[in-house]
Amino acid sequence: MAPSRSSIGWSRLSAVIAALALPWTATLAAAEKSAGDYFVHSLPGAPEGPLVKMHAGHIEVTPENNGNLFFWHFQNKHIANKQRTVIWLNGGPGCSSEDGALMEIGPYRLKDDKTLVYNDGAWNEFANVMFVDNPVGTGYSYVDTNAYVHELDEMAEQFVTFLEKWYALFPEYEHDDIYIAGESYAGQHIPYIAKHILARNKLPATKHKWNLMGLLIGNGWISPPEQYDSYLEFAYQKGLVQKGSDIANKLEVQQRICQKQLAVSKSAVDNPDCERILQNLLDLTAVRVKDNQRECYNMYDIRLKDVFPSCGMNWPPDLTNVAPYLRRKDVVEALHVNPNKATGWVECNGQVGSNFHPVKSKPSIDLLPDILSEVPIMLFSGSEDLICNHLGTEALISNMAWNGGRGFEVSPGTWAPRRDWTFEGEAAGFWQDARNLTYVVFYNSSHMVPFDHPRRTRDMLDRFMGVDISSIGGKPTDSRLDGEKGPETTVGGTAGNGTADQEAEKAKLSAAKWQAYRRSGEIVLAVVIVAAAVWGYFIWRERRKRLGYQGLAGGENGAGSGGRMGANSSSSERLGGFRNPLAAVGGGRGRGRDVEAGDFDETQLDSLHVRSPVEAQKDVRYSLGEESDDAEEEEEEDGGRGKGKEKGAGKAGGSS
């Protein structure tokens, strides 16, 4: 009969439509974004001339609670013998890696709040460099406020997810040699991420192994027992405190309390009783300069002073330009910061810091020996940093056993020599290495070594990565260890053709190819158009026949697929929040968009974000000066105080 025949016809046709449409919707949802969507077309304030090729934006890591990590990727200027990528992380926990991008190793620095200048010594000369605001909630990254990360393994798992998704978007970088670098509390993050990458590489299911070739950690927080013990010793050596003085005695009492604590809970990544050594040190050595003002040491560079209780949180001076710049609307748009991230950029997010309580995680020192059997590590220290000072790093190296030996003892009774490093005629520091571990001290340098000595750190990086400029030519930089030159590296003296030129060349070639293909392409296109028109007519005719059957029209794209979970799950993921069935039950969680980081009061973040160890302990108000000065915000600050701030600030505070 007519109706039944016709309805069979329909179901067949709709099957055809479904078959054609399904791959479409699937692709659309999966490829929500492509590499092109992350391309940074312009950067406000950039110097004249070609822009460094960059990509930036968010990658979703935990869809169930809107966890997104922000990245800023800069392409190398030259490829010397190999393609390399450096991933850079700042510390905190909760401090943004845009510190690294705009004050340390990135291609640009801010001269004022709207003018970028080239950084002489940027790390993207021979490596692609990517800054990631890690973990979720940090910097431009965001997450629901109830889903901050607590443990190091959790952080690292999310980071590996980030990399999986990132390389899916940018497969051309997946075979690069990978280096992970960073400073301060990243001394915990980096080894954990390395551990997870190495484990991933060993899974049988892993198609692309990642070539992790090295780790670089500057003034890292790695091993609490030695590093807490180093505060007093460093203070004596640098003459901040006199042995036998009242202050010294008080600090030694605190140090004993700390040591007792650590004897019981040796595995803690951080310990409040031990943090107090540093807090008290800064407090007790502060001197009154005016009625209402005391001056204390800058804990990131003891050659400098700061007002109490900031003690370094106002430093470095570039910070006063970086924060306003990264909050500008045109900058935020240029970097593709997701509008869901409604709060402005802050250097250190106090919420992230206070939630990051790794009670189950062991300090990263425990991971280093295993990593060192597979991947070389470089630890470097600015000599004038107090908070993660070089004495602590040296002590932890001495106590560590790896690759068949302990510390820098290379055979019984012989130690790896400290080789004097001269750079461009000046005493720059010394190098020491054994069994895949290299240690470098930078003289006259703060906690943020690349801030003080960008060119020297670039030389260090290139030597560590084995960059050899003989393949591209250029003027070697005068850098010597014990007077010897070693392989030729260069900082800024490259002669060879840049990556950008090579790409322009490639683009020209492929444009020519296109020209050649176009004619045949036009013919194919015409055939496709005719076929589509015929098919469209067929559908139209069939539909007209079945006009009475209106429900189907809706069923095609609405109720039909919505009713069946499978087909449309990817698009519900896109809408966010409803993918996890538990989420819907859980009230707030289910309605992810409503509780994400973007939605809570950002003034609170501002007031929480910069806090020195001393502030945490003392009931003294701190303000960054630029935006947190009005009364309302100060009230918020009162409300937020005392909630575990000591940790957040302890390991890096403003400038890690």
Ligand X SMILES: *[C@@H]1O[C@H](CO)[C@@H](O)[C@H](O)[C@H]1NC(C)=O
User: Of the residues 196, 447, 453, 609, which is catalytic?
Assistant: 447
- Least distance to ligand X, CB of residue 618, Å: 33
Should residue 376 be labelled a site residue for ligand X when binding is judged by CB under 6 A?
yes
Question: CB within 8 A of 482, min separation 6: which ones?
Answer: 417, 419, 420
Q: Indicate the residue among 497 and 580 with the shorter CB distance to ligand X.
A: 497
Residues in contact with ligand X, counted by CB under 6 A, come to a total of 13
Q: Which residue has the tokens 């190793």?
A: 105
**Geometric angle at alpha carbon 349, from 346 and 350, rounded to 5°:** 135
Active-site residue 561, yes or no? Answer: no
Query: Which segment (99-107, 413-421, 448-456, 494-502) binds ligand X by CB under 6 A?
Result: 494-502
Q: What is the token pair recorded at 5? A: 């025949």
Q: Indicate the residue among 443 and 600 with the shorter CB distance to ligand X.
A: 443
Which letter, b or e, does each residue of 408-429 get, where b requires 16 or more Cβ atoms within 10 Å of its Cβ? beeeeeeebeebebebeeeebb
Q: What is the token pair recorded at 168? A: 């899916």
Q: Indicate the residue among 246 and 374 with the shorter CB distance to ligand X.
A: 374
Task: Give the span between the Cα atoms of 95 and 534, in whole angstroms.
Answer: 59
- Least distance to ligand X, CB of residue 497, Å: 4
Which letter, b or e, does each residue of 61-72 get, where b requires 16 or more Cβ atoms within 10 Å of its Cβ? bbbbbbbbbbbb
Q: Indicate the residue among 304 and 552 with the shorter CB distance to ligand X.
A: 304
User: Of the residues 184, 381, 446, 612, which is catalytic?
Assistant: 184
- Least distance to ligand X, CB of residue 375, Å: 6
Q: Kindly tell me the burial class for residue 460, based on how many C-beta atoms sit within 10 Å of its own C-beta (0-12, 13-18, 19 or more).
A: buried
User: Would you say 384 and 240 are in contact if contact means Cβ atoms under 8 Å apart?
Assistant: no
- Least distance to ligand X, CB of residue 194, Å: 12
Radius of gyration in angstroms for the set of CA atoms belonging to the chain, rounded to a whole number: 28
**Geometric angle at alpha carbon 277, from 274 and 280, rounded to 5°:** 140
* Backbone φ/ψ region at 587: left (φ over 0), alpha (ψ -120 to 50), beta: left
**Geometric angle at alpha carbon 138, from 602 and 634, rounded to 5°:** 30
Query: Which segment (152-160, 166-174, 367-375, 635-643) binds ligand X by CB under 6 A?
Result: 367-375
Tell me whether strands 67-74 and 128-133 are parallel, antiparallel or unpaired. antiparallel
Query: Which segment (374-382, 517-525, 608-616, 617-625) binds ligand X by CB under 6 A?
Result: 374-382
Q: What is the token pair recorded at 432? A: 């020491």
User: Of the residues 99, 144, 318, 385, which is catalytic?
Assistant: 385
- Least distance to ligand X, CB of residue 494, Å: 9
- For residue 376, cis peptide bond before it (omega within 30 degrees of 0): no
Residue-level length of the chain: 656
Footprint (CB under 6 A) of ligand X, residues 254-273: none
Task: Give the span between the Cα atoms of 117 and 105, in whole angstroms.
Answer: 13
Assign 3-state DSSP to the chain and report helix, strand, coil percentages, each to 5.
Answer: 45, 15, 35
Selected binder of ligand X within 168, 495, 528, 559 (CB under 6 A): 495
Max CA pair span of the chain: 107
- Least distance to ligand X, CB of residue 589, Å: 43
Which letter, b or e, does each residue of 579-613 get, where b requires 16 or more Cβ atoms within 10 Å of its Cβ? bbeebeeeeebbbbeebbbbeeebbbbbbbbbbbb
**Kind plus residue range of the DSSP H or E element containing 401:** strand 401-402
Q: Indicate the residue among 214 and 309 with the shorter CB distance to ligand X.
A: 214
With CA atoms as reference, report the closest residue to 15 among 569, 551, 552, 537: 552
Q: Indicate the residue among 177 and 366 with the shorter CB distance to ligand X.
A: 177
**Kind plus residue range of the DSSP H or E element containing 467:** none
Tell me whether strands 377-382 and 211-218 are parallel, antiparallel or unpaired. parallel
Task: Give the span between the Cα atoms of 635 and 607, in whole angstroms.
Answer: 10
With CA atoms as reference, report the closest residue to 377 among 228, 184, 124, 194: 194
DSSP 52: P
Active-site residue 447, yes or no? Answer: yes
User: Would you say 426 and 479 are in contact if contact means Cβ atoms under 8 Å apart?
Assistant: no
Q: Indicate the residue among 505 and 594 with the shorter CB distance to ligand X.
A: 505
Q: Indicate the residue among 276 and 455 with the shorter CB distance to ligand X.
A: 455
Footprint (CB under 6 A) of ligand X, residues 565-604: none
- Least distance to ligand X, CB of residue 617, Å: 33
Query: Which segment (138-146, 172-180, 332-340, 492-500) binds ligand X by CB under 6 A?
Result: 492-500
- Least distance to ligand X, CB of residue 384, Å: 9
Q: What's the Cα-to-Cα distance from 458 to each of 105, 110, 142, 384, rounded to whole Å?
A: 8, 19, 31, 20
- Least distance to ligand X, CB of residue 416, Å: 13
Q: Indicate the residue among 61 and 371 with the shorter CB distance to ligand X.
A: 371
Footprint (CB under 6 A) of ligand X, residues 402-461: 403, 427, 435-436, 443-444
Q: Indicate the residue among 427 and 532 with the shorter CB distance to ligand X.
A: 427
- At 231, the amino acid letter reads Y
Q: Indicate the residue among 37 and 374 with the shorter CB distance to ligand X.
A: 374
- Least distance to ligand X, CB of residue 435, Å: 5
- Least distance to ligand X, CB of residue 303, Å: 9
Q: Indicate the residue among 83 and 623 with the shorter CB distance to ligand X.
A: 83
Active-site residue 144, yes or no? Answer: no
Query: Which segment (109-117, 132-140, 143-151, 495-503) binds ligand X by CB under 6 A?
Result: 495-503
End-to-end CA distance of the chain: 78
Query: Which segment (9-17, 217-225, 490-498, 637-645) binds ligand X by CB under 6 A?
Result: 490-498
The SS3 assignment for 395 reads helix
- Least distance to ligand X, CB of residue 427, Å: 5
Should residue 496 be labelled a site residue for ligand X when binding is judged by CB under 6 A?
yes
- Cβ-proximal residue to ligand X, closest one: 443
Query: Which segment (17-25, 447-455, 489-497, 576-584) binds ligand X by CB under 6 A?
Result: 489-497
The set of catalytic residues is: 184, 385, 447
Binding site for ligand X (CB under 6 A): 373-376, 403, 427, 435-436, 443-444, 495-497
